[in-house]
Amino acid sequence: MKLINLYEQKGIKIGEGMNEREVKLFASPKSEIRREDFALGLTIIKPGQVHEMHNHTDNQEIIYVNKGDGIAVVENYKGTHEFRIRENDILSLDYNESHSFINDGKMDLELLWIYSPSGLAEDKFLIK
C-alpha cells in the first residue's frame, strides 16, 4: 500500500514556449508507486499554453479533467474532432488516436491520465 498527495509530488517541465507544461508521474514500473501494467500521472497546462498533438501507438489512455477547462483536439480514422473539456470530464483515447489540449481558460488545466500498458513513461517523466 502506498499513499501520496498529487500536489506534494515534484514534477518536471517539458516542452518549450507555448508547449511548456508540468508533468508528474505517480505510478509506473519505476516510479514511487510501482505498477507494471499502467502509468498514472498529471499534466498541468498553464493558461495560454498548448499540449502539442501526439499519440500513443501502443497505449490506450483515459484522461480526467481535474481542474480548469480548455479545448481537446482528437484525430482518428473518423477525422478531426474539437470539443470543450471542463472539470470532471473524462476522455477515453484508443491506440493511435492523436490528441492535443489547449488551455484557453484563466486557470491551470489539470489532466490526470492513466495509460495502459505503462509504455515509456519513465523515459520522459520520471525525475531521476
For every one of its 128 residues, what pLDDT tens digit does the chain have, with 9 covering 90 and above?
889 998 999 998 988 888 899 999 999 888 889 888 999 999 999 999 999 998 888 889 999 999 999 999 999 999 999 999 999 999 999 988 999 999 999 999 999 999 898 876 656 665 55
Count of structural domains, the chain: 1
Judge whether 118 and 83 are in contact, CB under 8 Å. Answer: no
The answer to whether residue 99 is domain-embedded is yes
Rounding to the nearest 10 degrees, give the CA dihedral for residues 10, 13, 14, 19. 130
The answer to whether residue 127 is domain-embedded is no
* Cell numbers at 113, concatenated: 491520465
> Who contacts 30 (Cβ-Cβ below 8 Å, separation ≥6)?
122, 126
Residue 59 belongs to domain spanning: 15-119
The answer to whether residue 86 is domain-embedded is yes
Question: Which one, of 117, 108, 112, 97, lies nearest residue 43 by Cα?
Answer: 112
